[in-house]
A and B are shown apart, each in its own frame.
Chain A
Amino acid sequence: MAHRKGVSTTLDTNGRWWFGMKPKHQRLVLALVAFVALIGAGFIAAAALKEEASYFYTPATMAKAKIEPGKAVRLGGMVQKGSIVRGADGVSITFIVQDRDATQKVAYRGITPDLFVEGSGVVADGRLRPDGVFVADSLLAKHDENYVPKELADIDMNTAEHTKDTLSK
């Protein structure tokens, strides 16, 4: 029997099947066990990476992480409505980044990307000043998951949140 063609030679040292399983079923069980173990390992690795692999801090996670002033970090969140203040020199700008629980004031000098509007997402590279203001060296605009034709969003170009109401109607 053990010499029949197609017989699995692995894990079959006594010439007997596992629990009477055919070799093909043995292989299936082994493959499935390996697959489940791999997926599990992936999830565990991802969970362990949770903090480190995040691309940016939100205002709430930044407050929790107690970032010291001067340390280079990345801050992301939504630009609070009505918070953008442009300086008299034309390139200085301050605004407030918010998430659900916290806010963070940001100062930046330079040209802002086209998608940088109030109510929309932003990612800023920079560091905290001792006075608690986040000084950004660069700004990246974040796109939300909504895709809306211009005509539907005609009421206020600067109001990204408006689109969700438009779509739910």
Chain B
Amino acid sequence: MHRFANPARFLRLARPLTPALFWLGLLLALGACLWGLFAVPTERLMGDTVKIIFVHVPSAWLGMGGWMGIAIASLVQLVWRHPLAGIAARAIAVPGATFAAICLMTGSIWGRPTWGTWWVWDGRLTSMLVLFFLYLGYIALANASSEKGDTSRVAAVFGIIGAVNIPIINRSVIWWESQHQKASITLGGSSIDGAYLAPLFVAVAGFSLLFGALVLMRMRAALAEMRIDARMRRMADD
């Protein structure tokens, strides 16, 4: 782990990895969406509306997975004081918030024809909305402290505390009666027919790779900015 904490070594790895993740992710995500849009049977009760699953589920996964990434990176930042960890946590925040928002929007669009409502305040929907607000809070906190030039510990602590919401989202449909149905894919198996499951897995893989590419791009941009800042400061001192 310490090996990759070195920014120079990280950049050597990230430079070729970014386009690889990006193009493979784009190919898989687009392919899965086209597959889901044109080559999947209509669902028994929902008809064609089911096809929104190929965007909704990857977004939900990345919205929640993104926060777990922030929490783990924040923990590494606080415990081992790796500068790259703080940069990684910040880089995840904006894509994570975006996917959480996409999850909420696609869910709303899906809910109108199938449930009969755009929105209800049940455990799952509410806890997912809380996740989106946590992202906004994290982004504001990280930006407010970044003017000092280093990654702030306040944001890292917030990132770890916010992780409490993740198991709540996951368990919400089990702990409380909710409008949202229970999990279709569990460790025990899947109640989604293979005709939908296969493109769904490809979509999750594709969007995840895209997410990784976005995070790497943002980390490289942050490192480049820090170098510019350092150079400017040196020039000002001269």
Q: How far is the CA of A27 from the CA of B160 in the complex (A)?
A: 14
Q: What mask results when residues 95 to 122 of chain A are scored 1 for a CB within 8 Å of chain B, else 0?
A: 0000000000000000001111100110
Report yes or no: A55 in contact with B121, Cβ–Cβ below 8 A: yes
Tell me the chain B residues, 42-80 only, with Cβ under 8 Å from chain A. Answer: 42-47, 50, 53, 75, 78-80
Report yes or no: A140 in contact with B179, Cβ–Cβ below 8 A: yes
Chain A CB within 10 A, most for which of B41, B80, B191, B196: B191
> Chain A contacts of B47 at CB under 8 A?
150
> Chain A contacts of B50 at CB under 8 A?
147
- Known A42-B168, A55-B178, A145-B191; judge A163-B44 contact (CB<8 A): yes
Which residue in A53, A57, A115 is a CB contact (below 8 Å) of B46?
Answer: A115
Of A11-19, A28-36, A64-72, A86-94, which stretch is located at the interface?
A28-36
A38 to chain B, nearest CB (A): 5
Report yes or no: B177 in contact with A55, Cβ–Cβ below 8 A: yes
Kindly state whether residue A144 has any CB partner on chain B within 8 Å.
yes
Report yes or no: B46 in contact with A145, Cβ–Cβ below 8 A: no
Report yes or no: B114 in contact with A39, Cβ–Cβ below 8 A: no
> Chain B contacts of A39 at CB under 8 A?
164, 167
Report yes or no: B123 in contact with A55, Cβ–Cβ below 8 A: yes
Which residue in A57, A117, A143, A145 is a CB contact (below 8 Å) of B114?
Answer: A143
- Residue in chain B with minimal CB distance to A164: B191
> Chain B contacts of A6 at CB under 8 A?
81
- Residue in chain A with minimal CB distance to B45: A115
Kindly state whether residue B221 has any CB partner on chain A within 8 Å.
no
Report yes or no: B176 in contact with A55, Cβ–Cβ below 8 A: yes
Kindly state whether residue A46 has any CB partner on chain B within 8 Å.
yes
Tell me the chain A residues, 135-169 only, with Cβ under 8 Å from chain B. Answer: 138-153, 157, 160, 163-164, 167
- Known A140-B179, A147-B196, A157-B44; judge A31-B121 contact (CB<8 A): no
Q: How far is the CA of A151 from the CA of B193 in the complex (A)?
A: 12
A40 to chain B, nearest CB (A): 10
Q: How far is the CA of A153 from the CA of B167 in the complex (A)?
A: 34
Kindly state whether residue B171 has any CB partner on chain A within 8 Å.
yes
Kindly state whether residue A50 has any CB partner on chain B within 8 Å.
yes
- Residue in chain B with minimal CB distance to A138: B116
Which residue in A27, A46, A121, A144 is a CB contact (below 8 Å) of B78?
Answer: A27
Kindly state whether residue B122 has any CB partner on chain A within 8 Å.
yes
> Chain A contacts of B53 at CB under 8 A?
147
> Chain A contacts of B78 at CB under 8 A?
27, 31
B48 to chain A, nearest CB (A): 10
Tell me the chain B residues, 78-124 only, with Cβ under 8 Å from chain A. Answer: 78-81, 113-117, 120-123
Tell me the chain B residues, 21-42 only, with Cβ under 8 Å from chain A. Answer: 41-42
- Residue in chain B with minimal CB distance to A167: B191
B28 to chain A, nearest CB (A): 21
> Chain A contacts of B45 at CB under 8 A?
114-115, 117, 120, 143, 157, 160
Q: How far is the CA of A49 from the CA of B176 in the complex (A)?
A: 9
A-B pairs with beta carbons under 8 Å apart, 9 shown = A38-B160, A39-B164, A55-B179, A76-B177, A116-B116, A145-B183, A145-B184, A147-B53, A167-B193
- List 19 additional contacts besides A27-B79, A55-B121, A148-B43; criterion CB under 8 Å: A24-B79, A27-B78, A34-B160, A35-B163, A55-B179, A56-B177, A117-B45, A123-B179, A145-B184, A146-B184, A146-B191, A146-B192, A147-B50, A147-B191, A147-B192, A149-B195, A157-B45, A160-B45, A164-B191
Using a CB–CB cutoff of 8 Å, the interface residues on chain B facing chain A are: 41-47, 50, 53, 75, 78-81, 113-117, 120-123, 160-161, 163-165, 167-168, 171, 175-179, 181-184, 191-193, 195-196
